[in-house]
Amino acid sequence: QKEVEQNSGPLSVPEGAIASLNCTYSDRVSQSFFWYRQYSGKSPELIMSIYSNGDKEDGRFTAQLNKASQYVSLLIRDSQPSDSATYLCAVESNYQLIWGAGTKLIIKP
């Protein structure tokens, strides 16, 4: 059974600080990795995708991938109260997405 693990949180971060979210996965041959944000009562929305080792930056968001360690992370710089949400890590495995249970992030004003 392929797995994706995330710390459920909640992770509390002061406004303006860097929020760091982590995800580990079990399938060594996975090729695609995604971070989704889900506000309470809403559907998941894609915020970042990453396919190769290293960092990928998009505005205040940076995704980091280390395939050797089977680890993917999401950094949110200059955290805002509107970033408070649950962040879901999804990893491609055998042509499907395997989902972590999500990390709840709370940004304190």
87 near another protein, rule: CB under 8 A: no
Helix-, strand-, coil-residue percentages of the chain, each rounded to 5: 5, 55, 40
When binding is defined by CB under 8 A, the residue of 72, 74, 76, 88 that contacts another protein is 88
Residues with Cβ within 8 Å of residue 17, at least 6 apart in sequence? 79
Cα separation values, 103 from 10, 80, 86, Å = 7, 16, 5
Which residue's CB is nearer to another protein, number 51 or number 58? Answer: 51
The binder of another protein chosen from 63, 84, 92, 105 (CB under 8 A): 92
| Among the residue ranges 36-44, 52-60, 61-69, 71-79, the one whose residues contact another protein (CB under 8 A) | 36-44
